Structure 1
Amino acid sequence: MNYKLSLIPTGILHVNTWFFFKDNSLYLIDPGGDPDKIISHIEKEWENYLKKSHLEQKNIFILLTHCHFDHISAIPELLDYFPKARLFAHEKDAEVLGKGSRERVIMQARWCGIENYKDFLQKDIPFPELLTGESKIGPFKVIHTPGHTPGSCCYYWEAGNILFSGDTLFYGSYGRTDFPGGNGIEMAASLKKLSILPKKTLVLPGHGEYTTIEAEETTFNTLS
Structure 2
Amino acid sequence: MAANNCNSYLLEGEARILIDPGHAHFFGHVESGLRQLGLNVVDVDLVIATHAHPDHVEAVRLFKDSPTLFAMHQTDWQLLDQMSKSLGSTMDTDAYLPSFFLDRGQLTVKDISLEIFHTPGHSPGSISIYWPQKRALFTGDVLFKDGLGRTDLPGGDGDALKQSIRELASLDVEWLCPGHGDIISGGGRVRNNFQRVEEFWFAYI
From 82, 90, 107, give the equivalent of 1:136: 107
From 9, 14, 36, give the equivalent of 1:18: 9
Distance 2:92 2:149 in 1: 28
Distance 2:102 2:164 in 1: 17
Q: Is the counterpart of residue 66 in structure 1 residue 56 in structure 2?
A: no
**Alignment gaps of 5+ in structure 2:** none
**Alignment gaps of 5+ in structure 1:** 1-8, 108-117
Q: Is the counterpart of residue 103 in structure 1 residue 81 in structure 2?
A: no
From 191, 201, 204, give the equivalent of 1:214: 191
Q: Is the counterpart of residue 146 in structure 1 residue 125 in structure 2?
A: no
* Count of matched residue positions in the alignment of Structure 1 and Structure 2: 190
Does the Cα contact within 8 Å between 2:58 and 2:91 map onto a contact in 1?
Answer: no
Structure 1 position 14, deviation (Å): 2.2
| Counterpart residue number, 1:223 | 202
Counterpart AA for 1:215: N
Q: Is the counterpart of residue 35 in structure 1 residue 27 in structure 2?
A: yes
Structure 1 position 102, deviation (Å): 4.0
> What is the TM-score with the length of structure 1 in the denominator?
0.75
Structure 2 counterpart SS, 1:160: coil
Does the Cα contact within 8 Å between 1:197 and 1:213 map onto a contact in 2?
Answer: no
RMSD of equivalent CA atoms: 2.6
In terms of fraction of residues, the more helix-rich structure is 2
> What is the TM-score with the length of structure 2 in the denominator?
0.82
Q: Alpha carbons of 1:137 and 1:63: their partners in 2 closer, same or farther (altered >3 Å)?
A: farther
Structure 1 position 73, deviation (Å): 1.1
Identity of aligned residues (%): 27
| Counterpart residue number, 1:172 | 146
Does the Cα contact within 8 Å between 1:39 and 1:78 map onto a contact in 2?
Answer: no
| Counterpart residue number, 1:114 | none
Distance 1:162 1:183 in 2: 25
| Counterpart residue number, 1:3 | none
